[in-house]
Amino acid sequence: MEGIRVVRFDHPDAVRLSGLVQAEYVRRYGYDDMTPLRPGHFDPPGGLFLVAYLAGEAVGCGGWRVQEAGAEGYAVGDAEVKRMFVVPEARGRGVARRILGALEESARAAGRLRMVLETGTPLHEAMGLYAACGYVPTANFGPYRGYSDSRCFAKAL
């Protein structure tokens, strides 16, 4: 892998990869991720968006955004992972682990206390990755509280 770059969520590579992850959700779930996201959600210090590159091509992405305690089930100091994705051709090379590690490092540096994320039961490989990286199941939060196929995970930073 040649590197991971910080980009805005509206950067062309981020937009393309976000479209691919949404298509993957439609293929696996029958619907996309309905969470409204805006580029400003990922602007430091309240978030960060990363794109990984191999041979000059954008092959993976992920971001985090600030969440705080409230009725939606978040805790003080939460950073929520969004849009974790690696193109099929680049899977199995550690790209997702590197993106996730960089997200954790940046969230910790920004004073966040815990990473939280949601994935779904059809995404077995994602659940395996998160468990292998130290994430543990937690109560569903945010818009995912009412979905039986959602699985939420958390990791102390």
Q: Is the pLDDT of residue 78 over 70?
A: yes
Contacts of 133 (CB under 8 A, 6+ apart): 97, 100, 101, 155
Comparing CA positions, the residue from 85, 103, 41 lying closest to residue 66 is 41
Look up the CATH number of the domain holding residue 36: 3.40.630.30
pTM, to two decimals: 0.94
Domain range for 142 is 3-156
Residue with tokens 């994430």: 135
Distance (Å, whole) CA 29 – CA 37:
19
- From the number of C-beta atoms within 10 Å of its C-beta (0-12, 13-18, 19+), residue 73 rates as middle
The pLDDT tens digits of the residues spanning 93-102 come to 999 999 999 9
The count of domains in the chain is 1
The pLDDT tens digits of the residues spanning 102-149 come to 999 999 999 999 999 999 888 889 999 999 999 999 999 988 887 788
